[in-house]
C-alpha cells in the first residue's frame, strides 16, 4: 500500500500544480485588465507596478487553490478510470475508499497550508496592497465605499450608504465620530464623490442634518438642505488610512477581528445603556419596550396621555390658557424618538459589522476545508465521467465550483444582513458539498 499511496500522491501533484498555474493565470489576467486604468498616466515605475500586482496575487491564490484541487482530482481519477487502472486496483482487492484515501490526504495537506496562508499571509498582503494603492491614488484619489458597511476612513465622520453606482450613491447616513458632548447625524437621499488630487468632496442632496446634545436630548436642532458639501483634505485622509486600526475585515487576522467584535459589543452596550437612561427620564417603564417599534408605541401613548390631561384641564377651568408646556413636552418626546432612531441605527450597523467579521473568521477555515471536500467530490466524479473525456469532466468541475461559490456569497450576504447565523451562512456551502460528495462517492462505488 505504501507504493500505491506514493503513486497516487504523485499522480495528484502534477495535475494540481498545472491547474493552479492555469487558473491563477486566468484570474490574474482578468484582474490586470480591470486594474490597468489605475496605472495609465500615473508615471509609475515598473517595480511599483509589479509590487502591486504581486500583492494582489494573494486573494487570487486563495480562490484558485480549492478550484484547482477539484479539477486535478477529476483529471487524475478520470484518466485512471479511462485507462482501467481503477478496475485493476479493485480486482486486486483494493476498495474505492482506499484508492481515494491518498487524494484526500493530499487535499488535507493543501487545506492546512491554505488555512495558514489565509490567516497570516493573505491579510498582510491585502493590507499592503491597499497601502500601495493609496500612494497610486494620490493623483486621482477615491474613497473605498462598500454599500451596507461603515466607511471609517473619513477623519471626522463615519458614513454608510445603501447603494453605489460608480461614484454616485443613494440613501446615505453620516454620523459624527465625536459623540462625547453632542451627536450629528446627516441623512441624504443621494450624493456623489469627486476629487481634485488635494481635496475629496462629498456632495449630498435632499437631506437633513440632526444635531443633539447627548447630555440633554431637549437641545435638538434639525436642518433641511437641498445640497450640502463635506470637504476632506487628502493629507488627513492619507494619514488616517495608514493607521493599523483602519484595517478592513479582509486585512485582519483572527485575533484582530475578535478584538474588533469585542470593541463593537462594548459600544453596543453603551448605546443600550444610553437608551435605558433616556427611557427612565421620559417615563417609559414597560420592560418590553426594548425595540424601536415598541418604544415608538410607548412614546405615542405618552403623547396621547398628555393631550388627554391638557383637554381635561381646559374643561375643568373653563377658561382659555397657554398650552406652551404641552407643546414643549410633545416636541421633547419627538426629539427623543429621533434620537432613539439614530441609536438603533448605530446598533444595527455595529451588529452588521460584527457579522461581517464573524463571516470572515469562518471563511478562513471554510475555504481550507473545501479543499478536502472538493477532493471527495472530484475523485468519484472523474471515475463516473471517464467515458465523457476530460472536457466534460472539467466542465462539471467548474459547474460544481460555481455553485459552491454562489452559495458561499449568498450565505455571506445573508449573514452580513443578520438574516442568517454567520456560522451557518459560512459553512452551509461546505455541508452541501459534503453531502454531494458522499452521494457521488457511493454512486461511483456501485458502478465500479
Cell triple for residue 290?
A: 426594548
Question: What is the phi-psi region of residue 178: left when phi exceeds 0, alpha when psi lies from -120 to 50, beta otherwise?
Answer: beta
Contact 65, 20 (CB under 8 A): yes
Give the span between the Cα atoms of 51 and 375, in whole angstroms.
33
CB atoms within 10 A of CB 109: 12
96 & 9 share domain = yes
Q: Measured on CA atoms in the order 261, 264, 270, 275, is the torsion positive or negative?
A: negative
Residue 410 lies in a domain: yes
Q: Choose the final residue of a domain: 310, 331, 353.
A: 353
194 & 275 share domain = no
Residue 404 lies in a domain: yes
234 & 204 share domain = yes
Residue 151 lies in a domain: no
Cell triple for residue 316?
A: 375643568
14 & 126 share domain = yes
**Closest by Cα among 426, 433, 432, 429 to 364:** 426
Distances (CA, A) of 19 to 29, 33, 62, 93, 308: 15, 21, 14, 31, 77
**Closest by Cα among 126, 92, 41 to 84:** 92
Q: Choose the final residue of a domain: 237, 252, 267.
A: 252
Residue 152 lies in a domain: no
**Closest by Cα among 291, 297, 263 to 275:** 291
The DSSP string of 81-131 is HHTTHHHHHHHTT--HHHHHHHHHHHHHHHHHHHHHIIIIIHHHHHHHHHH
26 & 115 share domain = yes
Distances (CA, A) of 264 to 128, 210, 267, 270, 271: 25, 24, 5, 10, 11
Contact 9, 106 (CB under 8 A): yes
* Residue span of the structural domain in which 387 resides: 2-139+362-447
Number of domains, the chain: 3
Give the span between the Cα atoms of 401 and 395, in whole angstroms.
10
300 & 334 share domain = yes
Residue 343 lies in a domain: yes
Q: What is the pLDDT of residues 181-209, one digit of tens each?
A: 677 888 899 988 777 666 778 889 999 98
Q: Choose the final residue of a domain: 324, 353, 382.
A: 353
340 & 412 share domain = no
Phi, psi of 403, rounded to the nearest 5 degrees: -60, -45
Residue 72 lies in a domain: yes
19 & 54 share domain = yes
Contact 355, 425 (CB under 8 A): no
Single pTM value for the model: 0.73
Question: What is the phi-psi region of residue 202: left when phi exceeds 0, alpha when psi lies from -120 to 50, beta otherwise?
Answer: beta
14 & 124 share domain = yes
Residue 148 lies in a domain: no
Residue 287 lies in a domain: yes
Q: Using N-to-C axis directions, what is the helix angle for 389-416 and 324-384, rounded to 10°?
A: 160
168 & 248 share domain = yes
Cα 334 to the center of its chain, rounded Å: 35
96 & 38 share domain = yes
Give the span between the Cα atoms of 170 and 162, in whole angstroms.
6
35 & 118 share domain = yes
pLDDT in tens, the chain (448 residues): 578 788 888 888 888 999 899 899 999 998 888 887 666 655 677 888 888 899 999 999 998 999 899 988 888 888 888 888 888 888 888 888 888 999 999 999 999 999 999 999 999 999 888 888 776 765 554 555 767 777 766 667 788 888 887 778 888 888 887 656 677 888 899 988 777 666 778 889 999 988 877 666 667 788 889 999 888 776 655 544 444 447 888 889 999 999 999 999 999 999 999 999 889 888 888 878 888 888 988 888 888 887 776 666 555 444 444 466 667 777 788 888 888 988 898 898 899 889 999 999 999 999 899 999 999 999 888 888 765 455 666 677 788 888 898 999 998 888 877 788 999 999 999 999 999 999 988 888 776 6
Amino acid at each position: 500500500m505504501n507504493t500505491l499511496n506514493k503513486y497516487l500522491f504523485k499522480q495528484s501533484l502534477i495535475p494540481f500544480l498545472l491547474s493552479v498555474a492555469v487558473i491563477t493565470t486566468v484570474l490574474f489576467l482578468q484582474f490586470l485588465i480591470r486594474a490597468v486604468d489605475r496605472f495609465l498616466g500615473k508615471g509609475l515605475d515598473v517595480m511599483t507596478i509589479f509590487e502591486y500586482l504581486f500583492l494582489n496575487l494573494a486573494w487570487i491564490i486563495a480562490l484558485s487553490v480549492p478550484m484547482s484541487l477539484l479539477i486535478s482530482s477529476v483529471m487524475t481519477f478520470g484518466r485512471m478510470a479511462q485507462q482501467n487502472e481503477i478496475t485493476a486496483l479493485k480486482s486486486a482487492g483494493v476498495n474505492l475508499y482506499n484508492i481515494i484515501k491518498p487524494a484526500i490526504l493530499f487535499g488535507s495537506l493543501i487545506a492546512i497550508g491554505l488555512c495558514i496562508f489565509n490567516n497570516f499571509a493573505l491579510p498582510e498582503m491585502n493590507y499592503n496592497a491597499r497601502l500601495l494603492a493609496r500612494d497610486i491614488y494620490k493623483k486621482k484619489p477615491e474613497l473605498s465605499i462598500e454599500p451596507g458597511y461603515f466607511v471609517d476612513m473619513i477623519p471626522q465622520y463615519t458614513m454608510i450608504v445603501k447603494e453605489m453606482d460608480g461614484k454616485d450613491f443613494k440613501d446615505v447616513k453620516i454620523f459624527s465620530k465625536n459623540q462625547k458632548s453632542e451627536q450629528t447625524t446627516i441623512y441624504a437621499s443621494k450624493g456623489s464623490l469627486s476629487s481634485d488630487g488635494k481635496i475629496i468632496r462629498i456632495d449630498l442632496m435632499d437631506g437633513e442634518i440632526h444635531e443633539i446634545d447627548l447630555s440633554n436630548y431637549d437641545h435638538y436642532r434639525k436642518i433641511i438642505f437641498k445640497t450640502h458639501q463635506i470637504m476632506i483634505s487628502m493629507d488627513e485622509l492619507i494619514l488616517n488610512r495608514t493607521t493599523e486600526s483602519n484595517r478592513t475585515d479582509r486585512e485582519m487576522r483572527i485575533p484582530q477581528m475578535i478584538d474588533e467584535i469585542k470593541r463593537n459589543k462594548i459600544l453596543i452596550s453603551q448605546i443600550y445603556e444610553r437608551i435605558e437612561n433616556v427611557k427612565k427620564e421620559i417615563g417609559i417603564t414597560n420592560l418590553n419596550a426594548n425595540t424601536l417599534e415598541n418604544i415608538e408605541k410607548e412614546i405615542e401613548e405618552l403623547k396621547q396621555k398628555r393631550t388627554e390631561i391638557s383637554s381635561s384641564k381646559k374643561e375643568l377651568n373653563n377658561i382659555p390658557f397657554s398650552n406652551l408646556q404641552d407643546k414643549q413636552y410633545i416636541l421633547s418626546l419627538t426629539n427623543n424618538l429621533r434620537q432613539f432612531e439614530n441609536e438603533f441605527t448605530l446598533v444595527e450597523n455595529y451588529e452588521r459589522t460584527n457579522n461581517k467579521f464573524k463571516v470572515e473568521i469562518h471563511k478562513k477555515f471554510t475555504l481550507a476545508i473545501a479543499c478536502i471536500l472538493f477532493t471527495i467530490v472530484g475523485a468519484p466524479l472523474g471515475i463516473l465521467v471517464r467515458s465523457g473525456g476530460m472536457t466534460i469532466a472539467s466542465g462539471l468541475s467548474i459547474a460544481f465550483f460555481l455553485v459552491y461559490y454562489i452559495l458561499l456569497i449568498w450565505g455571506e450576504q445573508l449573514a452580513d444582513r443578520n438574516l442568517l447565523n454567520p456560522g451557518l451562512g459560512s459553512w452551509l456551502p461546505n455541508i452541501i458539498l459534503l453531502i454531494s460528495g458522499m452521494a457521488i462517492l457511493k454512486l461511483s462505488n456501485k458502478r465500479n
